[in-house]
Amino acid sequence: MKITSEQVDYVALLGRLDLTREEKQKYQAQLDDILKYMDMLAEVSTDDVEPMAGPVELYTPLREDEVKDSLPIEDALANAPARVGTSFRVPKVIE
């Protein structure tokens, strides 16, 4: 195993975890499996792979701009807690 029991104790201390002996053994094996998987990933050649911001290509669907009727003022202000004429009334934020 690559992970020692002392390392598990140290990580548990950092996380303020009070682990039993069985839990330490369980987590030691799990952490070791994670590191083995990371070693396996490190062996994969990524020379021809372009850097990405995320694992999935982002796509933003666009729609045509169409002129539509505006929302009536009464509908727009229907749920406003306070209003002044045809506008929302908000608390003053600048002195």
Q: How confident is the model at residue 2 (pLDDT cuts 50, 70, 90)?
A: confident
CATH 1.10.20 fits 5-42, yes or no: yes
Q: How far is the first Cα of the chain from the last one, in angstroms, to the nearest whole number? A: 64
Per-residue exposure over 26-35, b if at least 16 CB sit within 10 Å of its own CB, e if not: ebbeebbeee
pTM above 0.85, yes or no: no
Per-residue model confidence as pLDDT tens digits over 69-94: 999 999 999 999 999 999 999 998 99
Per-residue model confidence as pLDDT tens digits over 3-54: 899 999 999 999 999 999 999 999 999 999 999 999 999 999 988 888 888 8
Q: Where are the domains of the chain?
A: 5-42
